[in-house]
Amino acid sequence: MSINLKLNNNRTQFFMPLYNSAQAYVFNLQTTSSAEAKRLWRSKIKEEWNLECAYCGSDENLTIDHVVPSSKGGADFTKNCVCACHECNQDKSHTPWEEWYFSQEFFDIERYEKIKNWMKPEPSTNLYRYGKRRNNAS
């Protein structure tokens, strides 16, 4: 995992790239202020989408959209947030994203697949890096 160096407000700060892991989240919270961590998180999501709306491809008035709306139980996790223009974000509102996206004239199957792939959970990792421990106290 690479760690990047940022200079901000005459302070040296480290932050991890956008990973959907608790380790990266905690690291960023410990090394930056809460507001700065949120700003970095939002900007990295926009960069991952090449500074384009995930739905229509616009590059104007970009925001962060919850694919599954917060009002419908959607979490504030990276995998549930995409870069969206203000118009798409407002128009989609709390409508289920697939229902809304299929009805749009700018619907694109490649963008649809990219959003679906983005939302896939990360593969699980083995938390037990070491083998079983032998009990030699017999």
**Per-residue pLDDT reduced to its tens digit, 5-47:** 444 444 444 444 555 566 666 666 666 677 887 888 899 999 9
Q: Torsion over CA of 112, 113, 114 and 118, rounded to 10 degrees?
A: 110
Where are the chain's structural domains? 1-48, 50-120
Structure tokens at 115: 């959003």
Q: What is the pTM of this model?
A: 0.69
Class of domain 50-120: mainly alpha
- Do the beta carbons of residue 84 and residue 62 sit within 8 Å? yes
Residue 121 predicted with pLDDT over 90: no
Q: Which of 42, 109, 35, 28 is nearest to 81 (CA)?
A: 42
- Do the beta carbons of residue 28 and residue 41 sit within 8 Å? yes
pLDDT of residue 137: 66
